[in-house]
Structure 1
């Protein structure tokens, strides 16, 4: 299944408290459950005024539907085409 990186611009994101982050997660999980297609939210990172998410699904349109239904921005959605790390140098 394709993996996507999503950039969400949310002013003050790094100042969100645990309760607010939990509420976002609850909303996201509900939307994922209601989409009716294979969809996995892997992880999200909060940094500055952005939240960066890693999701798996078959189509970029599904990412945009998740954002629309959840009330989340999806300013940038890109498919991951390769993964590298320190181990790549061993290759």
Structure 2
């Protein structure tokens, strides 16, 4: 089972980067993920057990979301890519507007049986 992780990368001035800079960063991360099929067994195992979801770039930080089997895989990916991984946090719960299901039933006028059906109706 893959767990969700948030990674905080301190990268002073990163927000001033260009589209080309961000493309290169994404390309490097993708390259590490794609190259994980090498003959080194732990590297091969890493590839099937970690997925990059997306990243948010602020002035001085990159906040990334990954799905991974464990925190060590996230650290290994960062090391192979040459990225900082200053703080890695395992997500315990995801809260979004659908978490307030009772509030949605009031909006719709009937009890919501399925959050997905509400969102797609």
TM range (shorter): over 0.9
Q: 1:50 aligns to what? A: 61
Paired positions, count: 91
Q: Which 4+ runs in 1 deviate beyond 6 A?
A: none
Q: Distance in 1 between the 2:73 and 2:33 partners?
A: 10
RMSD: 1.1
Q: 1:65 aligns with which of 55, 76, 89?
A: 76
TM-score between both structures, scaled by the size of structure 2: 0.71
Q: Distance in 2 between the 1:42 and 1:83 partners?
A: 15
Unaligned runs of 5+ in 1: none
Q: Does 1:78 align with 2:89?
A: yes
Larger radius of gyration: 2
Tell me the CA shift for residue 17 of structure 1.
Answer: 0.5
Question: What secondary structure does 1:23 align onto?
Answer: helix
TM-score between both structures, scaled by the size of structure 1: 0.93
Unaligned runs of 5+ in 2: 37-42, 103-121
Q: Which has the higher strand share?
A: 1
